[in-house]
Amino acid sequence: MVWLGGPRGRGGRTKPIVLHDPPPGYRRPRPRIPLRDQQRKARHDWVLMRVATVVVVLAAAAITVIFLLMIAGYR
């Protein structure tokens, strides 16, 4: 049986929508992730993006310096 949710009334009990056979391609909903784990993942992603940004900026600066040295050496 598949419970599809359905409308919820104000305090009154409403009959949920239930199918005996799931429709094609139906996947069960994922369980909710606790707030602490969501915050930990967000913090981890933020740190990774900050590190990646610093690395990319330093690499771009190094490439720029190399090109400038090559141009200066050519003249």
Q: Residues 1-49: pLDDT tens digits?
A: 566 665 566 665 667 677 778 778 887 778 889 999 999 999 999 999 9
Three-state secondary structure string covering the chain: CEECCCCCCCCCCCCCCEECCCCCCCCCCCCCCCHHHHHHHHHHHHHHHHHHHHHHHHHHHHHHHHHHHHHHHHC
Domain boundaries, the chain: 2-74
Once rounded to an integer, what is the mean pLDDT over residues 58-74? 94
Residue 51 has pLDDT above 70, yes or no: yes
Task: Report the pLDDT value the prediction gives residue 25, as an integer from 0 to 100.
Answer: 83
